[in-house]
A and B are shown apart, each in its own frame.
Chain A
Amino acid sequence: MITIENLIKRVDTSEGELVILKGVSLTVNDAETVAIVGASGSGKSTLLGLMAGLDAASSGEVILNEQRLSELDEEQRAVLRGQLVGFVFQSFQLLPSLTALENVMLPIELKNDRNAREKASQLLDRVGLGERRHHYPNQLSGGEQQRVAIARAFASEAQILFADEPTGNLDSATGAKIIELLFSLNKEYSTTLVLVTHDERLARKCHRTIRLVAGEIVSDESNVDVVAEAISAGTAHDD
């Protein structure tokens, strides 16, 4: 579960102090999918960064699975990220000097898992890139790179997945396939998903859509169809 309490982020600019987030509070439950939408500069990427512990807030609190991030330094946050969090970025952020397989193996290796190679191979098979595991990122298309990034995000067996404009660099057809893959894996791994997007279609696939304007939440709506689908799936499952 992610809990955010009165989160404020200020930065100093040449024209004085700028408040990017103005007291944001929200809660994301386990296995919930949440889309944060808003115009450019609304503070959504900053919010994602703070929630994932990539940056420290000016004030307020982020609690990830009962860990208060404000009480952790960068080193401890890094440890927490390694244990809890996975990422998918707009610009893929694959290590250019590693092959697709090595990129996916990396988070598994960081956990000293001896089966890194097999697990990574399985995940690459799962995202449809089994044949291209030995290709380097610059030998892959944008869609393929993002699939590798998704495989890497799930490789660490993270409980929470943060995605920053995961389809932002892709054409709509490829973007649609990536969304499908992301949500399908998310469902498979029962991961909590927080994604930042401009794409309303993508947002509508999440349980909730939180709208940010100028650093403040102006709406927090449940996507009824998705929730209903989830409830029915859950009921069916329960049955």
Chain B
Amino acid sequence: MTTEVRVAVDGTAASEQQPVQAQAMTLATLLRLALRLLWRDWQGGELRLLFLALIMAVTSVTGIALFTDRLEQALLAESANMLAADRVLSGRDEAPSEWIEEARNRNLRTAETMSFGSMVFSDQGNVLVSAKAVSSEYPLRGKLIVAERAFGAGAPIDGGPAPGEVWVESRVLPALNADIGDILYVGNAELQVTRVIVQEPDRQQGGMMDNAGPRLMLNTADVPATEVIQVGSRVSYRYLFAGDTQALANYEQWLDERTNGEFRLRDVRDESAEVADALNKAESFLMLGSLFAVLLAGVAIALTARRYAERHFDYVAILKTLGCTSGQIMSLYMSIQVVLVIVAIFIGSFLGWGIHALILQALQAVISVNLPPAGVTPYIIGSMTAIICLLSFALPPLLALRKTSPLRVLRKDLDDNTLGAKLPYGIGLIGSLVLILWYSQDVLLTSILVLAVLGVVLVLSGVSWLLLRSSSSVGMKAGSAWKLAMSATRRRRKQNILQVLVFSLTIMSLLVLALLRTDLIRDWQAQLPENTPNHFLMNVTEPQVPGIEAFFRQNGVEPNQFFPMMSAGVTRINGETPILRRDDDEEQSNLTERSASTEQVAENAEAEPGEQERPRTVSNRQVTWTSRLPIDNQIVEGQWWGDDAQPGFVSLEDDYAERLGAKIGDVMEFDVGQGRLMEATIQSLRTVRWDNMQPNFFIIFSPGSLEGMGGTYLSTALMQQEQKALINGLLQQFPTIVVIEIDALIQQIQNIIAQVTSAIELIAFLVLACGALVLLACVTATLDERFRENAILRTLGAGRRLILSSLCIEFASIGLIAGVIATVGAETSLYYLQTQVFQQDFNLHYWVWLAGPIIGMAVIAALGVMATRRVVNTSPLTVLRHIG
């Protein structure tokens, strides 16, 4: 660091010129000075908030990254149990053996299952079962839980039945009047019952056909002997794969290239829309939470660094008069920041690890899988956050320090505008944008966040300017607390606008997270309330309905509504042929919709991705007719017909109508099978909650419209574990009906939702802590001026009460404005987040419009007064001497 200048002095030769040469401050001197300053600033408390903000940034980001990393793995592991594998390839035909061979060559573990419906016989009875042949490696993920007797307590077991054995679900045994050790006849094979299946990891996978009837599990080696699989038999083949993520990805790519994308490995997100939805929303929430945490910690860093820089102007001026160059000053402060950031990274990483461990400890009860250890990535993310935060938020004001004029030593009044320059804010803004984008890898989420922040800044600029606009009043108006506060608010307009901005952003972040959390949890709870029916009854004929209802009542089960059901296709709307894209058609496909038709389920479940973009005419749908609006349906346009319904009307699901281009009053023509056509007028449009595990329909006719055209009935029932044996009695009495059991699926989804709910609660708490830090940093940022001013006021005789009241009013009014802006910002952000990212319905949160401003006012007033009340408890002389 050497600067040499040769200056020509009038009348002197160049050789006589005196060189101006900067002596390089050695690294040791620099470090010594930096460490000394650092230590003293730390002791003096000046660095504590900045350091705390840095630690908070590292802690929250590392903690959340560690937590989400391991939680993601936990959830995926848990979800993988639902598949009994990491990836699944399924189809109606056998996969070429070289595909499986290739997977094994790539060190992937493989297993296969074949599902088919079959009658099984004992010496004393027979029952239709959903048979599943499994290879000896099955299951690759999760465990089978088996018992030694029917309805007995289960225990996990490795692998499936050995050749020559069958395992059955409890209710098969009473249905066959058989017991453990008896021989069952499956086709031509004689197999011995050795265990009872209590729980099967992938019980609900593979389409509804595989789940119609109680389970019988055998070894694939016994399948040829049964001779039940003939040409044309309906068999579901599922190939299971598990192993290293990278190896799986490579194998997927290999398969994709081999089959031109015709066959695709599916994971739990493909297989279960309900679980995928919960996982995706939880991930988005966690991401949003950590983004807010980073943003808030960044703001705290910016504020504290600015205050630190402001307090160092005089310092730098003195150093400059002593001969320090800008370069040396920069090196000095850079060294301080480097030391600070390194220590913060160490402490923050450690605390982050602690926080994530605490969270996992709290979730121990709901996370049932063993978590793999965390990698280094979360620590890198945390460290990078600290570095980027420091570079973008703290460095600009510190860099501005080097431009401090040494003249400040003579003229204290010299205003240093360097900190007010636009560039530092620009750097901070770009830095935070890069950080958020890099961290989230989600352009939509980042855009919404950035737009929300920009929106708040814009609204704020206008509102604050109007509200805090200075009248032409002169003096401090020290007569009353109210006038004194208002005058102070106006005088510190610039700082106050900054404070309102920071408070608004903080309160907005907290409101967004709190409301989103509440809405998500409410939605999930509403999706699967405690008494969600866990069995579907299908293929019920009209004469069977009263009998089934009576059967349930006798056995203490509340019968639910029976929906008549038949297949119908839209042929014309107002005389025109409708066109519907296939992906739209499949979009809302879910378990309950699928459950409406076992045939259709099988087709949908195996829809090939390559076909999805092709436009096509509208496919057949399972339709119903009823006078009662089904549960969780809401009329959004038109009117529900009610009890005095007339035939010839139809109600469509809102989105479905939109995709068809149909509206109220349109006349639709349907093909109801066997060439029969009928017409109906659209009378209402409905929203449907597809994920509520209830029978749901795109198309509902008014009663009488389809009467006499045939069809079967569909219903649901809630049966507890101890009532499961009732199904046998039901099936004995009504042998033609099909009972689909989804209790295991509901239980699994509820477990996952419980996990993610706990997770988002904890993230919300972490962000709250960051928010509190920002508020504290922001209040502290203007502390000096308030201290000085109030010390002078006290010297001039202002009472303690007057000053405290004035401070309280000043902070409360700032809090009120911030609360109002935050509420508007939060609701606007929520609208976009809920409709674009979380796929939720947006509703205004009316109570927040009252609570937001009030909470803002109360919290900011309390914090402000708490932080500044020392001014009335310390002698004015001490304050003035301390601040100088």
A and B held together in a complex: yes
Contacts of B17 in A (CB 8 A): 66
Given contacts A76-B5, A87-B321, is CB(A82)–CB(B23) below 8 Å? Answer: yes
Given contacts A67-B9, A76-B5, A95-B315, is CB(A49)–CB(B40) below 8 Å? Answer: no
Which positions 173-204 of chain A face chain B at CB distance < 8 Å?
Answer: none
A72 to B325: give the CA distance in the assembly, Å.
13
A75 to B5: give the CA distance in the assembly, Å.
10
Flag A68-85 by CB within 8 Å of B: 1 or 0 each: 100110111011111101
- Say if the beta carbon of B37 comes within 8 Å of chain A: yes
Specify which of A54, A95, A110 is in contact with B29 (CB 8 Å cutoff).
A110
Specify which of A48, A83, A87 is in contact with B20 (CB 8 Å cutoff).
A83
Please state if A78 and B406 are interface contacts (CB–CB under 8 Å): yes
Contacts of A78 in B (CB 8 A): 22, 320, 323-326, 406
Which positions 5-27 of chain B face chain A at CB distance < 8 Å?
Answer: 5, 7-10, 12, 17-18, 20-26
A87 to B434: give the CA distance in the assembly, Å.
46
Given contacts A54-B406, A54-B410, A112-B24, is CB(A102)–CB(B36) below 8 Å? Answer: yes
Given contacts A82-B324, A93-B314, A110-B323, is CB(A87)–CB(B409) below 8 Å? Answer: yes
Please state if B325 and A75 are interface contacts (CB–CB under 8 Å): yes
Query: Please, which residue of chain A has its CB at the minimum distance from the CB of B884?
Result: A91
Given contacts A54-B410, A106-B322, A110-B23, is CB(A68)–CB(B7) below 8 Å? Answer: yes
Interface positions of B (Cβ within 8 A of A): 3, 5, 7-10, 12, 17-18, 20-26, 29, 32-33, 36-37, 40-41, 43-44, 314-315, 317-328, 405-407, 409-412, 881-882, 884
Query: Please, which residue of chain B has its CB at the minimum distance from the CB of A78?
Result: B325
- Say if the beta carbon of A156 comes within 8 Å of chain B: yes
- Say if the beta carbon of A111 comes within 8 Å of chain B: yes
Flag A139-160 by CB within 8 Å of B: 1 or 0 each: 0000000000000100010000
A21 to B21: give the CA distance in the assembly, Å.
30
Query: Please, which residue of chain A has its CB at the minimum distance from the CB of B39?
Result: A97
**Min CB distance, B8 to chain A, in Å?**
8
A29 to B71: give the CA distance in the assembly, Å.
78
**Min CB distance, A67 to chain B, in Å?**
5
Please state if A164 and B410 are interface contacts (CB–CB under 8 Å): yes
Contacts of A226 in B (CB 8 A): none
Query: Please, which residue of chain A has its CB at the minimum distance from the CB of B41?
Result: A97
A39 to B9: give the CA distance in the assembly, Å.
34
A55 to B20: give the CA distance in the assembly, Å.
17
A11 to B853: give the CA distance in the assembly, Å.
46
Please state if A95 and B410 are interface contacts (CB–CB under 8 Å): no
Contacts of A40 in B (CB 8 A): none
A42 to B327: give the CA distance in the assembly, Å.
35
- Say if the beta carbon of A19 comes within 8 Å of chain B: no
Contacts of A55 in B (CB 8 A): 405-407
Which positions 92-124 of chain A face chain B at CB distance < 8 Å?
Answer: 93-98, 102, 106-107, 109-112
A180 to B29: give the CA distance in the assembly, Å.
34
A85, A94, A112, A164: residue with the most chain B Cβ atoms closer than 10 Å: A112
Please state if A81 and B407 are interface contacts (CB–CB under 8 Å): no
Please state if B33 and A109 are interface contacts (CB–CB under 8 Å): yes
- Say if the beta carbon of A209 comes within 8 Å of chain B: no
Given contacts A54-B407, A66-B17, A75-B3, is CB(A82)–CB(B9) below 8 Å? Answer: no
Please state if A65 and B18 are interface contacts (CB–CB under 8 Å): yes
Specify which of A82, A94, A98 is in contact with B323 (CB 8 Å cutoff).
A82
Query: Please, which residue of chain A has its CB at the minimum distance from the CB of B33?
Result: A109
Given contacts A45-B411, A49-B410, A112-B25, is CB(A63)–CB(B323) below 8 Å? Answer: no
Query: Please, which residue of chain A has its CB at the minimum distance from the CB of B25?
Result: A110
Given contacts A65-B18, A79-B3, is CB(A107)–CB(B322) below 8 Å? Answer: yes
A160 to B287: give the CA distance in the assembly, Å.
62
Please state if B40 and A80 are interface contacts (CB–CB under 8 Å): no
Specify which of B37, B325, B884 is in contact with A97 (CB 8 Å cutoff).
B37
Please state if B20 and A79 are interface contacts (CB–CB under 8 Å): yes
Please state if B12 and A89 are interface contacts (CB–CB under 8 Å): no
A109 to B412: give the CA distance in the assembly, Å.
26
Contacts of A80 in B (CB 8 A): 20, 323
Contacts of B318 in A (CB 8 A): 93-95
Contacts of A71 in B (CB 8 A): 5, 7-8
A72 to B6: give the CA distance in the assembly, Å.
9
Query: Please, which residue of chain B has its CB at the minimum distance from the CB of A52?
Result: B321
Given A66-B12, A75-B325, A97-B44, 5 new contacts (CB under 8 A): A78-B323, A79-B5, A81-B323, A82-B322, A110-B25
Contacts of A85 in B (CB 8 A): 321, 323
Given contacts A55-B405, A76-B5, A106-B322, is CB(A82)–CB(B314) below 8 Å? Answer: no
Query: Please, which residue of chain A has its CB at the minimum distance from the CB of B881?
Result: A138
Contacts of B881 in A (CB 8 A): 138
Contacts of B412 in A (CB 8 A): 91
Contacts of B37 in A (CB 8 A): 97-98
Specify which of B3, B10, B26, B410 is in contact with A76 (CB 8 Å cutoff).
B3
Please state if B323 and A79 are interface contacts (CB–CB under 8 Å): yes
Query: Please, which residue of chain A has its CB at the minimum distance from the CB of B32?
Result: A109
Please state if B326 and A75 are interface contacts (CB–CB under 8 Å): yes
Please state if A66 and B410 are interface contacts (CB–CB under 8 Å): no
Please state if B409 and A89 are interface contacts (CB–CB under 8 Å): yes
A45 to B37: give the CA distance in the assembly, Å.
30
A38 to B242: give the CA distance in the assembly, Å.
90
Q: Which 5 A-B residue pairs are closest in the complex by CB-CB distance?
A: A82-B323, A97-B40, A79-B22, A66-B9, A54-B406
A91 to B317: give the CA distance in the assembly, Å.
13
A97 to B317: give the CA distance in the assembly, Å.
15
Given contacts A67-B9, A110-B322, is CB(A75)–CB(B29) below 8 Å? Answer: no
Specify which of A66, A67, A82, A98 is in contact with B36 (CB 8 Å cutoff).
A98
A52 to B405: give the CA distance in the assembly, Å.
13
B9, B323, B406: residue with the most chain A Cβ atoms closer than 10 Å: B323
**Min CB distance, B87 to chain A, in Å?**
61
Query: Please, which residue of chain B has its CB at the minimum distance from the CB of A152?
Result: B322
Please state if A110 and B20 are interface contacts (CB–CB under 8 Å): no
Specify which of B7, B26, B320, B405 is in contact with A112 (CB 8 Å cutoff).
B26
Query: Please, which residue of chain A has its CB at the minimum distance from the CB of B26?
Result: A112
Contacts of A82 in B (CB 8 A): 22-23, 322-324
Given contacts A109-B29, A110-B29, is CB(A81)–CB(B322) below 8 Å? Answer: yes
A102 to B884: give the CA distance in the assembly, Å.
21
Query: Please, which residue of chain B has its CB at the minimum distance from the CB of A196?
Result: B410
A74 to B44: give the CA distance in the assembly, Å.
31
A190 to B525: give the CA distance in the assembly, Å.
87
A181 to B405: give the CA distance in the assembly, Å.
29
Query: Please, which residue of chain B has its CB at the minimum distance from the CB of A82?
Result: B323
Please state if B18 and A67 are interface contacts (CB–CB under 8 Å): yes
A94 to B409: give the CA distance in the assembly, Å.
10
**Min CB distance, B699 to chain A, in Å?**
76
A75 to B326: give the CA distance in the assembly, Å.
7
A182 to B326: give the CA distance in the assembly, Å.
30
